[in-house]
Amino acid sequence: MIEHPLAGGVANAGGVVRVGNHVLRPAGPHAEAIHAFLRALRDAGFEGAPVPVGIEPDGRERLVYIDGDVALPPYPEWMQADASLDALARFIARFHAAASAFDPSPFAWSSDVSDPAGGPIVGHNDVCPENVVFRDGVPVALLDFDVAAPGRPELDLASLARMYVPVDDDVNAGRLGWRPADRPGRLRLVADAYGLGAAGRRTLGACLDDVLDRTEEFVRRRVAGGDLNFVAIWAAMNGEERFARRRRWWASSQQRFLEALR
């Protein structure tokens, strides 16, 4: 059957295709663990993740295609709405509840952006707009579990907040089409919708620091390793300037975000 390229993402940009009712994409070194986890989610009653079919002879993984809308830059108005963010935080709470029934210990997992403290559940670790399928503004599925790994739920939620609040300076956010918004208020919305208590909110605030640092380190490693997709993004966004600006912005803005979580 004809392979139709699917747009979006960076690490696998140009390598993900739809073939009929299936998706073929590069299988990473942790595909066995990820497929076991995806099956366990389904067994736990969570239907918001791809159903794995198997690994093809050419090394690509085959998954059942999920129909819906995936937001690409410049991000559309419906995806930026507070209602969509509220629904996404509730959706991630259901995902984490299903993930808690899975034992990750028999498997090896990605360390690319994993929680340095470890944790009780397998988190997605890359809940960005390109990795969430929506229907009528409501999230129905997560995509791309390549960097999934055991960790704290709050760190996974911090990863979501980094991309969806977004926790970023105006220049970087504007390049992706984000409109001006009360971003500390949107972070509070995430904590409220997820159902975080006081201790969880403190952990979420602390995790934001780690997520910002580790995602920068991840991008730098990919660029240094010659990954062409990351090299192109680095050049297009002037990576050194981008991350330096974000660090300055976070140093001056962090307190407002932490106060919003109290």
Q: What is the pTM of this model?
A: 0.95
Mean per-residue pLDDT, 184-209:
98
178 Ramachandran zone, left/alpha/beta (phi>0; psi -120 to 50): beta
Q: How far apart are the first and last CA of the chain?
A: 54
Residue 64 · residue 53 · CB < 8 Å: yes
Identify the CA nearest to 158 among candidates 187, 197, 117, 135.
187
Q: How confident is the model at residue 7 (pLDDT cuts 50, 70, 90)?
A: confident
Among all chains, which residue has been given the structure tokens 């690490």?
Answer: 11
183 vs 19: CA distance, rounded Å: 39
Q: Is 147 in contact with 114 (CB distance < 8 Å)? A: yes
Q: Domain residues of the chain, as ranges?
A: 4-64, 77-260
Alpha helices in 100-145, H assignment, sequence order: none
DSSP H helical ranges for 110-227: 153-164, 170-175, 183-194, 198-224
- What span, in angstroms and rounded, lies between the C-alpha atoms of 220 and 234? 9
In the structure encoding, which two tokens stand for residue 106, read together?
Answer: 């028999």
Predicted local distance difference test score (pLDDT) of residue 232: 93
Cα–Cα distance, 88 to 164 (Å, whole number): 9
**193-218 average pLDDT score:** 97
Q: What is the pLDDT of residue 11?
A: 75
Reduce the secondary structure of 179-198 to three states and give it as a string.
Answer: CCCCHHHHHHHHHHHHCCCH
pLDDT score at 248: 98
CATH topology of domain 77-260: Aminoglycoside 3'-phosphotransferase; Chain: A, domain 2 (3.90.1200)
136-149 tens-digit pLDDT: 999 999 999 999 99
